[in-house]
Amino acid sequence: MNFYIVIPAHNEESSIGLTLDSLIYQSLKPKQVVVVNDNSTDKTLEVVEGYSFKHDFVTLVNTKSSNEHLPGAKIINAFYKGYEVLDEDYDVICKFDADLIFPSNYLEQLALHYKESKKLGMVSGFCYIEKNEGWKLENLTRKDHIRGALKAYRKQCFLDIGKLKPSMGWDTVDELLAKYYNWQILTDSTLHVKHLKPTGISYNKASKYLQGEAMYKMRYGFIITLISALKLAYKKRNFNLFKDYMAGYFKAKKEKPEQLVTEEQGKFIRKLRWKGMLKKLT
């Protein structure tokens, strides 16, 4: 299978080389790897240039957005800068972070999963962070959720969901829309990916409100947003985040930004969310 990989990178000189090394030495090599250097002020550009000179399937794209480390629009806009230079000859398109170290069989194992089921639209391993002199599961979300750091989409699934949404919540709505279009999602617990920078470590206060806004834009409604915000704040052991999420939701409800899904898709999403929550209670 042809794997095309796009890696948005902002000031990742300490990690991007490790990420690229782990991809270059895969047992199933990617056909294309594009690193989008997004307004870096460190030596990210020089590091990636070195790899692009040595490996013809590694490409560097430079772009400029802002110095803010905000989730959502910034990273997806950078992704599209890389996606635009690729041709259409891919079977799987990946959006990977620039601070990951993949096991050497990662892409080969993903390919095996895709070949086993033609209805499999997305698949990934799990992120592990260094803690207490070992690597521990970065347990921030459900085990069946694919983290935004390591997304891999079958081509038709990627097209069916309308590609990626440049908004906070893009890495949740993609899965919800995949299910709406009858695609399956798989997480492989045997694939341990080292995540060098814990999620959200450099997000600022403003970005916290975007989570609540995303829940509004995914048409969760008040009750599901309330439950989701409580669960997420609990997982992160920070009740102040709950207040931020709900403030973001009410702010969005007042300002009415563009929704990420249609009314019909929103109805499906709410039904799916209720079904999942009720299942855990029985």
Res 197: pLDDT: 85
Measured distance CA(106)–CA(27) in Å, rounded: 8
Task: Quote the mean pLDDT of the chain.
Answer: 92
Q: 234 pLDDT band (50/70/90 cuts)?
A: confident
Measured distance CA(220)–CA(131) in Å, rounded: 34
At 122, the amino acid letter reads: M
Res 202: pLDDT: 52
Q: 133 pLDDT band (50/70/90 cuts)?
A: confident
Residue of higher predicted confidence among 24 and 202: 24
Q: Is residue 236 over pLDDT 90? A: no
Q: How many CA atoms lie within 13 A of 110 on its CB side?
A: 33
Q: Is residue 240 over pLDDT 80? A: yes
At 249, the amino acid letter reads: Y
Tell me the average pLDDT across 28-45: 96
Convert the pLDDT of each residue in 49-76 to its tens digit. 999 999 999 999 999 876 555 668 889 9
Convert the pLDDT of each residue in 64-119 to its tens digit. 876 555 668 889 999 999 999 999 999 999 999 999 999 999 999 999 999 999 99
C-alpha dist (Å) from residue 81 to 7, 52, 59, 200, 226: 10, 17, 12, 23, 35
**92-96 vs 3-9, strand pairing mode:** parallel
| % of the chain beyond a pLDDT of 70 | 94
By the 8 A CB rule, do 39 and 66 touch?
A: yes
Res 176: pLDDT: 97
Res 235: pLDDT: 82
Res 282: pLDDT: 67
By the 8 A CB rule, do 142 and 166 touch?
A: no
Tell me the average pLDDT across 11-21: 97
At 246, the amino acid letter reads: M
Place of tokens 């949404």: 165
Rounded to a whole number of angstroms, the CA Rg of the chain reads: 18
Tell me the average pLDDT across 10-38: 97
For residue 20, give the nearest of 83, 97, 90 by alpha carbon: 97
Res 209: pLDDT: 85
Convert the pLDDT of each residue in 139-168 to its tens digit. 776 788 999 999 999 999 999 999 999 999
Task: Quote the tokens at residue 93.
Answer: 């398109």
Place of tokens 């095309």: 4
Res 139: pLDDT: 76
Q: Which residues of 66-85 are buried (b: 16+ CB within 10 A; e: fewer)?
A: eeeebbbebbbbbbebbbee
Domains of the chain: 3-195 (3.90.550.10), 206-281 (no CATH)
Q: Is residue 32 over pLDDT 90? A: yes
Q: Is residue 34 over pLDDT 90? A: yes
Residue of higher predicted confidence among 269 and 139: 269
Task: Quote the tokens at residue 101.
Answer: 């170290």
Q: 44 pLDDT band (50/70/90 cuts)?
A: very high
Convert the pLDDT of each residue in 170-208 to its tens digit. 999 999 999 999 999 999 999 999 999 876 555 556 677
Helical segments of 32-72, H only: 44-54
3-class secondary-structure state, position 273: helix
